[in-house]
Structure 1
Amino acid sequence: MKEVSVNEVPADAQLIDVRESDEYAEVRADGAISIPMSEFTSRVGELDLDRDIYLICKSGGRSAQVGEYLEQRGIDSINVAGGTQGWVQAGLPHTSA
């Protein structure tokens, strides 16, 4: 699975936040779509397979696990190293509660 830094995520990326809903509500990268890891298997059909899939979580661990799940199903994805914490620390556009 490919991995990129928060600064390498395109502005118009399909960015999937796999953290739980309460975490997403607290702080999130602008444009991120919430598909919690706990719901991912039932919501995988919501992904646009014609676009690159960037996965983000708090720091990169859960998104890497979701990426492995996708990889086992023949779906490529890109893990965002550093996650939402790194995103906020880098001063990238985000929304906080």
Structure 2
Amino acid sequence: MREISPKEVERMLSSGTAVNIIDVREAEEVAEGKIPGAVNIPLGLIEFRKQDLDRSKDYVMVCRSGGRSSRAAEYLEGQGYQVINMTGGMLAWEGTTE
């Protein structure tokens, strides 16, 4: 599984690079703040919402600490999606949130 640091994601966003971010935390957690532009699909719904994702795009998976996003990334990778897990999750995120 490919991994990316929060700093790398932040650099990509600040440089204007299009980044497809999937936040797999629960809605209550996301309400406390998420990376701007991230789409919330809770881990428990990934299996049912995967058809909403485009297999030709790369997705950065995010959660609180990196564990749930790692599981989501493994699952989606096994389904043929291009995914990258953000290590450390939102606990390591120092960028802006919305």
Q: TM-score, normalised by structure 1?
A: 0.88
CA shift, 1:28, in A, is 0.9
Q: How does 1:1-97 map to 2 (within 5 A)?
A: 1-9=1-9, 10-11=12-13, 12-87=18-93, 90=94, 92-95=95-98
Q: Kindly indicate whether the alpha-carbon contact (under 8 Å) linking 2:56 and 2:82 is maintained by their aligned counterparts in 1.
A: no
The secondary structure found in structure 2 opposite 1:44 is helix
CA shift, 1:74, in A, is 2.0
CA shift, 1:66, in A, is 0.4
Comparing 23-32 and 57-66, the one that deviates more: 23-32
**Could you list the runs of 5+ residues in structure 2 that have no partner in the other structure?**
none
Residues 31-79 of structure 1: CA deviation (Å, up to 9, x unaligned): 1110111111111112132221100000100000001101211222000
Q: Kindly indicate whether the alpha-carbon contact (under 8 Å) linking 2:56 and 2:81 is maintained by their aligned counterparts in 1.
A: no
Q: TM-score, normalised by structure 2?
A: 0.87
**Could you list the runs of 5+ residues in structure 1 that have no partner in the other structure?**
none
The secondary structure found in structure 1 opposite 2:44 is helix
Task: Tell me the C-alpha RMSD between the 2 structures.
Answer: 1.1
Percent identity of paired positions between Structure 1 and Structure 2: 40
- CA distance in 2 between counterparts of 1:41 and 1:3 reads 21
Q: May I ask how many residue pairs the two structures share in their alignment?
A: 92
